[in-house]
Amino acid sequence: RFPFLLIQYQRLAIMDVEQLHVVLQQSFSPDANLRVPAEETVRNLKHVKGSTTLLLQVAAEAKVQFEVRQAASIQLKNICRECWAERVNFAGFPLTTDGKKPPLLDEEDKARIRPGLVAALLAEAEKSLRDLLAETLHTIVIHDFPQNWPDLIPTLLTTIQQGANDPAQALRVHNALLALRKVCKRYEYKSKDQRGPLNEIVNQAFPLLLPLAQRLSAPEEHALEAAMMLKQILKIFWSSTQFYLPGSDGNGPSPALANPQSMQPWLDILQRALVKPLPEASTGLEPKNQPTTVEERNAWPWWKVKKWAVQIMSRLFSRYGIPSYAEDDAKEFAKYFSQNVATQFLGPVCETLNLRPSGQFCTDRVVHLCLTYVDLAVELSSTYKLLKPHLDFLLYQVCFPTMCLTQEDIEIFENDPHEFVHRQNSPLADFYDPRMSAITLVTDLVKHRGQDVTQNLLGRMTEILQRYNASPPESKNHVEKDGALLTFGSLSKFLLAKDKYALELEGLLVTSVFPDFNSPVAFLRYRACWMVQQFSTVRWSDDGSNLRNLLQLNLQRLSDPALPVQIEASKSLRYLIEADGADQTLLPVLPQLLTEYFRIMNEIGNDEVVSALQVLLDKFGDHIEPHAHQLVTQLSNAFNQYCTAGEDDDDDDAAMAAAQCLECIATVLKGICDQPSIMKNLEPLLIPLILKIMGNDGEYIEYLECALDILTFLTYFPDTISPELWQAFPLIYVAFDQWAYDYLNMMVPCLQSYIAKAPDFFLQGQAQLPEGNIPYIDLIVSMVAKTVTNDKASESECRYALSLFMSLLHNCHGKIDMYLTIINEISLGKLGQQVNADIPLTRISIYQILGSALYYNPQLELVELEKRGVTQQVFGKWMKDVETMDRWLPRKLTILGMSSILSLPVASLPPSLQSSIPQLIDGVVRMSIALKEDEQKTGNDGGDADVPGGGSGLPSDIGDVDQGFGEDEDVTNEVDESYRKALQGVTSWDDDMARFLLGGDWDEDREDVDEDFTSPLTDNSVDELLFLSDILNAAFQREPEAYQQIQAAMSPEAAANCQKIFQAASALRAQAAQQSTQQS
């Protein structure tokens, strides 16, 4: 509306700090006439030279309105993150916005920002602004430190040294510590050989920080500023030590490893921080003014100090607490830690855990971390001996009350059920919820020290249930019963694994769980549904009536008035559905079941509910067809609803549920894949979803895998591809090119279907891209080229990409002659890189392309090889690698490709091939015979063998819950120990072993990429044995003299094999003729 403003503010060297102040102020004006152009100007500040300096001036000026300063700080952070250095994606390609690279700040601007930012941060008293400036510093550190910012650490350490003992300088010291933490955080997750700068920082900073931390943690120090500074020092210590103890120089070992006592002063600081009393404000004792609300207490610096102290000690315990698990160079330190430190710190931890039982306050986070420490102490004999006399206190005064529902939990359950469900299903609960750490501690005590715990614990919990059943309604303790059931359920895998307990579980369920399905107490109905999930594999001793009763009770709870109960009931069915006889109860009510599930899904986005629906659909796949359209309609609507909630409200539960909806849709499509007409009718519902996910510049990347699965179903099973479905084709390329490079393996199947189902349409099609109208085939070639030539692409990705060339050659026969050059250029270039690779899989993929190209046009393909002068080398290596081919497709394509050479006159062949024809024929004939023999054997093979030991399917490491380890034994686990030892042997986080240990694909580069590849050459329309027989017959008839000489040069065995080929071909033709006659 005011273009002159934009022109004025965007013109280089025109804007000054006063104008910027006005623009920022107007950017949150209620008047749209002022706000809209101001917002546009702010968005374009990254194009204005010197704007970062002006933004920093505004942000640092204390007299400026807070909202304006905050807006300036946010914009400065965003510009530095986007424009300080070129950002690249996983594949190394530059990240773009609307197809354009963001501008980069020039060195002059950067040189002004670095010192100015430090000065502003050191002086900033406002927390929110301080945090924004610190994040900006962290961004710059990533790119510039230490090479381009050598004075950063000296500046910060000088500030700390000068103000360490001056209370008036407390703010500057705190802010310098905050900045130092941001620098250390840069190296927190680096491997040992990449921590050089961090080791140097530690060597310079720790001698300065240690006496400061000792003073701040002294019992007589109570100032809030002291807590804030101590918290930052502990965070620096955490970043510097949580994975490796800092070394003495860039590569040397840590001094603490050789001299463990050198760490003791730091460990003393942690202990003093944890034992420091924090009295209520009403007592008037120091430190004074502890807040009274839980939220404010959680944020109070002194509680934060305790949190960091116990968090650091728990991490040290997990790494060094059991010497047998420690790395070789850390054995001495681990021995010292286990014998001295672990036991000394256990007392303060238990005293902290006693705060709540004694009526005092303790934050949830501190309780959680203390329980984590005690859980580790259970495994170490020296600490367990100290714990053993206090097990009753630990189990029944700390863990059990922590596991029970609080009054706040019950109020949230009744008044805010959505929040209750969110908390119960939060994937982060394991990292902060004391209830989860209490459950873990109880289960680990039973698992590792069962002889001291199990009988007593089960007896106490059974007493609670019996007391509840015997009490009159008005005096029943519902919360206590819920806690007892939670305890039993948490121990389910141990109880189910031992007959002594497993045989009692049916009675437990019938007497103490079944009645709760109809309890007037809603959270007990919730717990009953949860218990079903834990004990779904219980052995029923009756005629099945208990199971049928349980199914009916569970079904009734799907329409419970309490939403959390509905959620748990819907989740329970996924476990019950596998029980023998469950389908007899559930199948007759399948339509009503689906209705209930969708009603619940409309109420709340919960991925476990949708996952349960998916199990239901998978189980009753044969009965889905009548409901397919309704199911996909409902799931599509649910996806859009959840997707919007996840985007607008930042609702992680809804976002996960949205992805689960797409997986459900794929399950429905799997159930009707033999009904392509029904699948076609679903396209109008599904194509908009696919286009939405793929067509928004990566905004919905978390759903891309599911969208590609659905697209694969829609392109693979129907006989034709609709024009509407073709809209997705160019979007696949754009996604690959701009924001989803690492999804290539999932893109290939649907791209292959596009090419195979409509090759003519594919060859004529063009995509409208910013570069112009690009033929579809050029997009395919580009994807292959970008993958194969990218150093960051795995060999698996390269093979998936190369398989697209096979699709072109097989489906576009005689129509892509002009592309043979580029196909060879890319494929042979990759072959040159892989010629000496130990694993031949990529070479074999390239041989498949060469075989396909020879079959496509042997004359043109030989020209391509000859003009590069590689014919002899390629065929020589190819024939050697034939021995390593154990899969059907590469062997078949080798036969077809090499046989095609024989269709050319001998005189037209390259000299190197002319002299090798006898060997070529011999090799191809032997491969054909072997391939037919293998096919016949495969046809006679049975199915998969029974898996040995497949009984209950329970984990094998449960052990005897009545025994465990003695108090003089450390807890050991052969699997864990092997894992840790293997992890210690990893030298690079990119190698195969590291991938496996960290949960990656151990055999990623050994999978059969082409196992699902289909084309006219793979559907038995071209039989390789018949093809070879016909080629040989035609060659002998065409050039009898030449081939008589060739035959003379062959061994008697090779000549006999040729006769076998002719005889086998005649037999196949006779068999086919007989079958044709019978059918007619």
Please indicate whether residue 946 or residue 713 has the higher confidence score (pLDDT): 713
For the packed helices 407-415 and 522-534, what is the interaxial angle rounded to 10 degrees?
Answer: 100
Q: Computed over its alpha carbons, how large is the radius of gyration of the chain?
A: 35
Please indicate whether residue 981 or residue 777 has the higher confidence score (pLDDT): 777
Angstrom CA distances, 772 to 769, 775, 811, stand at 5, 10, 26
Counting beta carbons within 10 angstroms of the beta carbon of residue 907, is it exposed (0 to 12), middle (13 to 18) or buried (19 or more)?
Answer: exposed
Nearest-5° Cα angle at 1071, 1067 to 1073: 115
pLDDT tier, 164 (very low <50, low <70, confident <90, very high otherwise) = very high
The encoded tokens of residue 1039 equal 């050039």
- Amino acid letter, 859: Q
Mean local confidence (pLDDT), 224-244: 93
| The pLDDT value given to residue 949 | 33
The encoded tokens of residue 920 equal 């070529």
| The pLDDT value given to residue 366 | 97
| All residues at 6 or more sequence positions from 880 whose CB lies less than 8 Å from its CB, including other chains | none
Distance CA 1015, CA 1008 (A): 16
The encoded tokens of residue 516 equal 């709760």
Distance CA 305, CA 204 (A): 23
Query: C-alpha dihedral over 456, 462, 468, 471, to 10 degrees?
Result: -80
Residue 217: name the closest of 268, 159, 288, 161 by CA.
268
pLDDT digits over 256-271, tens only? Answer: 777 889 899 999 999 9
| All residues at 6 or more sequence positions from 404 whose CB lies less than 8 Å from its CB, including other chains | 479, 480, 482, 483, 486
Average of per-residue pLDDT values in the chain: 86
Please indicate whether residue 16 or residue 162 has the higher confidence score (pLDDT): 162
Residue 250 has pLDDT above 50, yes or no: no
Beta bridge partners, 769, equal 772
Mean pLDDT is highest, among 152-161, 584-593, 610-619, for: 152-161
| The pLDDT value given to residue 2 | 38
- What is the helix (H) or strand (E) element at residue 768, kind and residue range? strand 766-769
Mean local confidence (pLDDT), 951-961: 50
Residue 794 has pLDDT above 60, yes or no: yes
Residue 970: name the closest of 376, 473, 422 by CA.
376
Mean local confidence (pLDDT), 729-738: 92
Residue 943 has pLDDT above 70, yes or no: no
Distance CA 146, CA 109 (A): 18
Mean local confidence (pLDDT), 178-200: 88
pLDDT tier, 954 (very low <50, low <70, confident <90, very high otherwise) = very low
pLDDT tier, 929 (very low <50, low <70, confident <90, very high otherwise) = confident
**Residues 373, 378, 383, 384: is their CA dihedral positive or negative?**
positive
Instruction: Report the 10 Å Cβ neighbour count for 380.
Output: 24
In sequence order, what DSSP letters do the residues of 720-757 get, joined into one string?
Answer: S--HHHHTHHHHHHHHHHHT-GGGHHHHHHHHHHHHHH
The encoded tokens of residue 625 equal 């067809």
Q: What whole-number percentage of the chain has pLDDT above 90?
A: 55
End-to-end CA distance of the chain: 79
Distance CA 614, CA 656 (A): 14
| The pLDDT value given to residue 623 | 81
Residue 1006 has pLDDT above 80, yes or no: no
Please indicate whether residue 252 or residue 382 has the higher confidence score (pLDDT): 382
pLDDT digits over 67-100, tens only? Answer: 999 999 999 999 999 999 987 654 455 666 555 6
Longest dimension (CA), the chain: 114
The encoded tokens of residue 364 equal 């949830």
Least confident window among 775-784, 979-988, 1027-1036: 979-988
pLDDT digits over 551-595, tens only? Answer: 999 999 999 999 999 999 999 988 888 888 888 888 888 888 888
The encoded tokens of residue 517 equal 């399905």
Distance CA 676, CA 767 (A): 27
Q: Could you give the 3-state DSSP secondary structure of residue 94?
A: strand
pLDDT tier, 381 (very low <50, low <70, confident <90, very high otherwise) = very high
Mean local confidence (pLDDT), 835-852: 90
Quick one: residue 640, left, alpha or beta (phi over 0 = left, psi -120 to 50 = alpha)? Answer: alpha
Instruction: Report the 10 Å Cβ neighbour count for 365.
Output: 19
Angstrom CA distances, 574 to 584, 619, 620, stand at 15, 9, 12
pLDDT tier, 886 (very low <50, low <70, confident <90, very high otherwise) = confident
Paired sense of beta strands 772-775 and 766-769, if any: antiparallel
Q: Could you give the 3-state DSSP secondary structure of residue 951?
A: coil
Distance CA 458, CA 439 (A): 14
Q: Is the peptide bond before 287 cis (omega within 30 degrees of 0)?
A: yes
By the 8 A CB rule, do 708 and 668 touch? Answer: no
Least confident window among 98-102, 371-375, 730-734, 968-972: 98-102
| The pLDDT value given to residue 999 | 45
Q: In three state form, how does the secondary structure of 789-816 look? A: CCCCCCHHHHHHHHHHHHHHHHHCCCCC
Mean local confidence (pLDDT), 417-428: 83
Distance CA 1076, CA 1020 (A): 16
Angstrom CA distances, 869 to 715, 865, 873, 915, 1068, stand at 40, 6, 9, 16, 40
Mean local confidence (pLDDT), 234-244: 90
Distance CA 877, CA 884 (A): 11
- Amino acid letter, 297: R
Counting beta carbons within 10 angstroms of the beta carbon of residue 999, is it exposed (0 to 12), middle (13 to 18) or buried (19 or more)?
Answer: exposed
Residue 952 has pLDDT above 50, yes or no: no
165 DSSP assignment: T
Distance CA 622, CA 618 (A): 9
Residue 287 has pLDDT above 60, yes or no: yes
Distance CA 324, CA 337 (A): 12
Residue 329 has pLDDT above 80, yes or no: yes
| All residues at 6 or more sequence positions from 908 whose CB lies less than 8 Å from its CB, including other chains | 859
Residue 986 has pLDDT above 90, yes or no: no
Instruction: Report the 10 Å Cβ neighbour count for 487.
Output: 24
| The pLDDT value given to residue 1003 | 41
| The pLDDT value given to residue 887 | 85
Query: C-alpha dihedral over 89, 93, 96, 101, to 10 degrees?
Result: 130
- Amino acid letter, 844: I
pLDDT digits over 504-530, tens only? Answer: 999 999 999 999 999 999 999 999 999
The encoded tokens of residue 90 equal 């996983």
Mean local confidence (pLDDT), 940-957: 38
Distance CA 390, CA 232 (A): 35
Distance CA 403, CA 460 (A): 15
Mean local confidence (pLDDT), 939-966: 49
Query: C-alpha dihedral over 279, 282, 288, 290, to 10 degrees?
Result: 70
Backbone angles phi, psi at 769, to 5 degrees: -115, 165
Residue 274: name the closest of 393, 363, 168, 158 by CA.
363
Quick one: residue 180, left, alpha or beta (phi over 0 = left, psi -120 to 50 = alpha)? Answer: alpha
| The pLDDT value given to residue 995 | 45
Mean pLDDT is highest, among 97-106, 331-340, 963-972, for: 331-340
Mean local confidence (pLDDT), 1055-1075: 85
Show the DSSP H helices in 902-954 as ranges. 911-914, 917-940
Residue linked to tokens 């659905």: 710
Angstrom CA distances, 224 to 227, 296, 598, stand at 5, 14, 53
pLDDT tier, 945 (very low <50, low <70, confident <90, very high otherwise) = very low
Residue 643: name the closest of 632, 631, 654, 635 by CA.
654
Q: Is the peptide bond before 146 cis (omega within 30 degrees of 0)?
A: yes
Least confident window among 666-680, 900-914, 989-1003: 989-1003
Nearest-5° Cα angle at 170, 164 to 175: 100
**Residues 1050, 1053, 1056, 1061: is their CA dihedral positive or negative?**
negative
- What is the helix (H) or strand (E) element at residue 788, kind and residue range? helix 776-788
| The pLDDT value given to residue 1000 | 43
Backbone angles phi, psi at 815, to 5 degrees: -120, -5
